[in-house]
Amino acid sequence: MDIREANLTDALLEKLIALSANWEAENSTYGYRRNERSDIVGSRIFLAEQEGEILGYLLGQEAKAERASSVMADGTPYFEVEELYVVPECRGQGVGSALFRFVEQKLKGTESAYILLSTATKDYKKILHFYIDELGMDFWSARLFKKL
């Protein structure tokens, strides 16, 4: 498996939109909708590939905290992971971990002091295990809902 940062091309854009359409069809995340061009343009793109096939991708952007929080002060630079997707047949094989760790290594020594992400997955136990236990992230907050 090869992990790399990629520049956006029309061909890559088509592939990423198709993968996000598959993710939407899985119905595994509350409110997820397939990407459009505007959702991808401007993001850093990281790919996990094998023999030219995309096994997973990570999209993200650098930002600065706009409000002080219990975790970071105003103006703190961070990297926001917007999407981390692995094709279903490759889940549990280390693809997502490899993508995240690659990004983490690329960000070390840069301005970014944190990596942040939010999730709206329907399988919160599995995803929290992945991010906290496997990747060493810390839990910050949760927003819960109950339909009446």
pLDDT per residue over 102-117, tens digit each?
A: 999 999 999 999 999 9
| Predicted local distance difference test score (pLDDT) of residue 98 | 98
Backbone φ/ψ region at 90: left (φ over 0), alpha (ψ -120 to 50), beta:
alpha
Q: What is the pTM of this model?
A: 0.92
Give dist(CA 95, CA 91) in Å, integer: 7
**H or E element that contains 117:** strand 114-117
| Predicted local distance difference test score (pLDDT) of residue 32 | 96
pLDDT per residue over 64-97, tens digit each?
A: 998 878 888 999 999 999 999 999 999 999 999 9
**CA 49 to mean position of chain CA atoms:** 16
Q: Report whether pLDDT(130) > 80.
A: yes
Q: Mean pLDDT throughout 52-57?
A: 97
Q: Mean pLDDT throughout 47-71?
A: 93
Share of the chain above pLDDT 70, in %: 100
- DSSP states of 42-59 as a string? TSEEEEEEETTEEEEEEE
| Predicted local distance difference test score (pLDDT) of residue 40 | 98
